[in-house]
Amino acid sequence: MKKQYPTLIHEWFEEVWNQRNAQTIDRLLADDAIAHGITDARGNELRGRVAFKEFHRRFLNAFPNIVVSVEDAAAEGDKIVARCVVRAKHEGDGLGFPATQKQIEITGMCFLRIRDGKIVEGWNNFDFLAMHSQLGTLASLIQKST
């Protein structure tokens, strides 16, 4: 069973992000899943498939050529962790500001809880500060938060 989970995390990033396949979300994400560390357009934590699909759509609009590489993965019991590198060019306005046409490369980690072969909870820690810095949008992000 442990071998299934590292395969699941590779499948998630390869199909959902690299192949941009939203149908995989239905197959691998539980109806009641919670994604900590990722928010919707209003700043709310993502809950459920519908919210995640909207985030997925917006993020792919901003970064249509995204490539997520799983550098390391490990599993124990119903938990799996992955260390990733995200590379993409900012070509759309899905993040709420115009495309910068700049390339990004950020790192991140996600820690998942699996139930019945599906992701039910995820803790995501991707370096969105570095992303905004690379895009040149950090100043406007800081202004919005004050």
CATH number at residue 95: 3.10.450.50
pLDDT-based confidence at 41, cuts 50/70/90? confident
Structural domain total, the chain: 1
Kindly tell me the burial class for residue 40, based on how many C-beta atoms sit within 10 Å of its own C-beta (0-12, 13-18, 19 or more). middle
Pairing verdict, β 118-126 and 29-39: parallel
Predicted TM-score (pTM) of the model is 0.88
For residue 40, give its domain range: 4-145
User: To the nearest whole percent, how much of the chain has pLDDT over 70?
Assistant: 92
pLDDT(77) > 60? yes
What H or E segment, with its residue span, contains residue 144? Answer: helix 138-145
